[in-house]
Each structure stands twice: as C-alpha cells, then as structure tokens.
Amino acid sequence: MTDLVPAPRRLVRGHRGRGRLDERTRLEAGPGTEGVARWLRATVGAATGLSLAGHGDGGGRILLAVDPALPPEGYRLHLGGDDQVIAGGSAAGVFWGAQTVRQLLGPDAFRRAPLRPGRQWELPEVTVEDAPRFGWRGLLLDVARHFMPKEGVLRWLDLMAAHKLNVFHFHLTDDQGWRLEIRRHPRLTGTGSWRARTKFGHRASPLWDEKPHGGFYTQDDIREIVAYAAERHIAVVPEIDVPGHSQAAIAAYPELGNTDVVPASGKAGAAPAVWDTWGISPHVLAPAESTLRFYEGVFEEVLELFPSEFVHVGGDECLKDEWRASPAAQARIRELGLDGEDGLQSWFLGHFDTWLSARGRRLIGWDEILEGGLAPGAAVSSWRGYAGGIAAARAGHDVVMCPEQQVYLDHRQHDGPDEPVPIGYVRTLEDVYRFEPVPPELTPEEARHVLGAQANLWTETTEDQARVDYQAFPRLAAFAEVAWSALPAPAERDFAGFERRMQAHYGRLDALGVGYRPPSGPRPWQRRPGVLGRPIEGPPPNR
C-alpha cells in the first residue's frame, strides 16, 4: 500500500520485512508532538482497536519527534522495523507524516471502528521524505447559499487533513444568508440567516424548494470549529462580504442599504428580503459612516473568534446601480474626491484594509479589490482567471490562485447527460491534475508572491452533503496533489500514474463515507434529472 495521494517527494522501499502494530505497540510523543499523538489514538487507534499506549513493556514503538533540520511542514518517515519513526520540522510536519502512515496502513485505517478486532496491522518497510510545494493549500466552502451544520464542517476539516490541505476559507455571508452569530447585531442571524424558499437548480430553473432554509453558527460553534481545525494544523480564514453580496445583512438592518433609492417595489427605504435565488443582487451597502461603524463592530467580533493572519472581505461582484441612483452615494463621491463608483468601492475596502492592518491582521479579497489600489500588506484571491493574480504579484501583493475555470469544483466534471445540475465548462479529474498555480509570465521574484492555490466549492446548486461530496471528489484529491507535490510542468505530469494511485485512494474515500463521482459516471442517486443547470460548451479559457 504505497499508492499515496498526494505523492511524496521521495519514497524508498526496503526489502527486510514489514513493521507490525499490535496491542503491545507503544506511541511515544516527543516534545511538541502531543497533539499528533492524541489525533493518532483517536483515529488510527479507533480504526485498529489498538490502545497505542504511551508506556508498556515489549512490542514495537511509534516514535514522534520534531526535527528542526526539516522544513516546517516537511516530514521524514522510517517504517518497517521495530520502531516506526515519524519526524517533522514542526508539529504540523509530524501531523502530515502521520497522515501518510495512515494511508500506508490501508483503507480500513480510515474507519471509525475496527472491522476485525485482534487483527495485526502491518506497515511496509519504507523511508519517505516529503514537504509541500506551497504554504497555502486551500479549500473554500460556501455555507451561505446552502447552510452546512457544524458536524458537516468538522467532517470537511477531517477530509482536508486527510489530503494535507491546510487553509479552510469559510464563506460565511452572502445575499442568501448570514451564518455567523454577531452578538451586538442579533438580527444578522435572527432575520438574515433564514430565507423563505430556495431556487432549485440554476437561477433560470423554474423549480423552487418551498421550504424555509437557513441556520447559523453560534460563537461557541465557531470556537469549536477553529480549535478542531487547529488540532489538524488548518487555518480558518473567515469571509465577511462587503460591500456587495450583502442582501441578507440589509434584510436584517435596512439602514445598511441605500435607503434613498426607490427599488422595484416602488417605495424608498423598503427592505429587501433575504434573497431566495442565485446571481448577483443589486442591493449593496451604503457608503456611509454608520455602515463603516456597523461593520467595524462585526469585524471586532470576527477577530475575537478567528486568530488567522488573513481576513477575507469579499469585494467582488459589487453592482453599482444603487450608488449611481443614490443622492447620498453621489454626494459621498464628491465629498471624498473619488473617481466615480469604482473609486467609492476602493475607498470602502481601503477603510477595512487600514482597519485590519492596525490590528495586526491582513486583508485578502477577490481580485476586483485591485481596482483602485491596495495597501502593501493586502493579498488577492485571483478568481477571474490568472490575470488578477499576475497583476497583483507584479505589484508586490501576495496571491492565492483559484481561477474559476480551473478549480471551481461546483463546475461540471463531464459533458454526459447524467451530470447533476451541470454548471460551467467541463473540468475533468485530469484537467484539475494539470492545473498550474504559478503563471509562466511571472519572474522568479514575482512568483514568490504566489502563496499557493485554492479550490472553491460554491453551493448554489449543491444543496446537501451528498451533492458537495460529488462535486468535490475525486477532483479535490487531484487538486491536493497539485498544491502539495513537486510536480513537473502540466503537460509532463503522469496522469495515468495518478489514476492508478487513485484506485487505492477510492478505497480510503469509501471508508470515510465520501460520496464521490465514480470514474464510470454518476450513480443513479447522484443524478438530478430535469433540474436545469448552465453548461458552457467548448474548452475553458486558460487566462
């Protein structure tokens, strides 16, 4: 069982025999590795039925150690003798090494209880030396369009850890729902977390789910999620969208909107409801001092809950029609001497860039935030292709590459008629495996600004866990290898070898209960016949 995903940098097989784990095996944790030991006992211990005690006589040992000579997230394994040694440059490196050991034990090591109590477990005699290519190996999960209960989020953190992904981008607010408890503004969840009904399929679909939909995370839920992620060496980056994608907040607090604009209802100041369909809402935040103070209060509570270096502020798809029609917004533009509505958005985001920087955090936003200029410490999520990331890196800003037509996992995986709710261009497993995060146009100095890559999973048409699983896997495994492994140029990558290794990995996903798309196509219960999508034909643009 040496078909590892993601592929390690170096694996050398020995020939002397195999290491054995049994009821006498001891787990000895060196300084700084105690958390990894707890994780091993809770997961591998549960799956094998072995206690992995810290003390005892006789038997082999699993030794955990921090070795500062290794890269911080790098690890080295020596397996197959009496002692199984997992060393890492930090606790994170030891943890990633432990994930590799779990794979080497076979798919049954991914279950929650032993299938055959008393079984003797074996490890191949191997030496593995490994370290990640990128420090940012991310996954965005959109819980605003379709809410995912806390237990589902914790499950996804486990799935991320199993694939050595280390940044969880938590998309918490949007037009269709506000998912984070803010104690000083209780209507954000009291009103903003629920919508009356939901569009089923693409926004052009005639179908509706007439049940109210919603939910939110309490602050204690968030503390638990952040702590659970930290135990798995995953940083949680919260996203609070401003100034667009804010209809749910405006529904809760109408004064946040442009109340001097007459909406389609014909009454100025009328509050919109939490949005029940998809697309880009015309309702955006008013560029008023009171709005800034309101969101400063929101971000103060966000910073208390999330210790991450970065805070994502969205900044994308902000329609300017209300600002053009708003006398107050136009007066604001004149007062500040701004270059129209685009300058107004840049001013709005620049305020929070400065505000976060003053508190030791860094703003990150979608690539629209480049329009109008950024503070030196701000970073960019490049989603509209590679162009925004290239421009940001050349301007000296850090970049996370997540181009829509390459790594948006809500897009369809095949052009077959049975693909459920087909969205966008076809992005196959092989397409994702050949994704390259660093554009060749960048110089080596500019390329150093590419922090890494991120796969994004938006949930307009993924209404439950089964649909999210189907859209994510197996493509997320290919993405994880791109983000972790030192792969050759895209055209030279051994996709056939990756497919071969995936045959073993499907067994691990089965043991974890992941409802992935089989290579042969969707199973009958994975289809959504009659639910309208938005497929786009032809090859997707590469830039």
Question: Which residue, 490, 429, 509, is CA-closest to 163?
Answer: 509
Which one of the listed residues 202, 213, 245, 312 is annotated catalytic? 245
Structure tokens at 224: 């638990």
Contact criterion met (CB below 8 Å) for 33 and 54: no
Name the region of 269 (left: φ>0; alpha: ψ -120 to 50; beta: rest). Answer: left
Annotated active-site residue 368? The verdict is: no
**Residue 227 neighbours by CB under 8 Å, 6+ apart:** none
Classify 16 as helix, strand or coil.
strand
**Residue 468 neighbours by CB under 8 Å, 6+ apart:** 141, 148, 457, 459, 462
Three-state SS across 206-237? CCEECCCEECCECHHHHHHHHHHHHHCCCEEE
**Residue 164 neighbours by CB under 8 Å, 6+ apart:** 6, 96, 99, 132, 137, 480, 484
Annotated active-site residue 317? The verdict is: yes
DSSP 381-445: EE-SSSHHHHHHHHTT-EEEE--HHHHBTTS-S--STTSSS-EES---HHHHHT--SS-TTS-HH
Annotated active-site residue 202? The verdict is: no
Which one of the listed residues 3, 83, 317, 342 is annotated catalytic? 317
**Residue 116 neighbours by CB under 8 Å, 6+ apart:** none
**Residue 146 neighbours by CB under 8 Å, 6+ apart:** 198, 213, 459, 460, 462, 463, 464
Which one of the listed residues 122, 174, 241, 469 is annotated catalytic? 174
Burial of residue 98 (number of CB atoms within 10 Å: 0-12, 13-18, 19+): buried
List, by residue number, the catalytic residues: 174, 245, 317
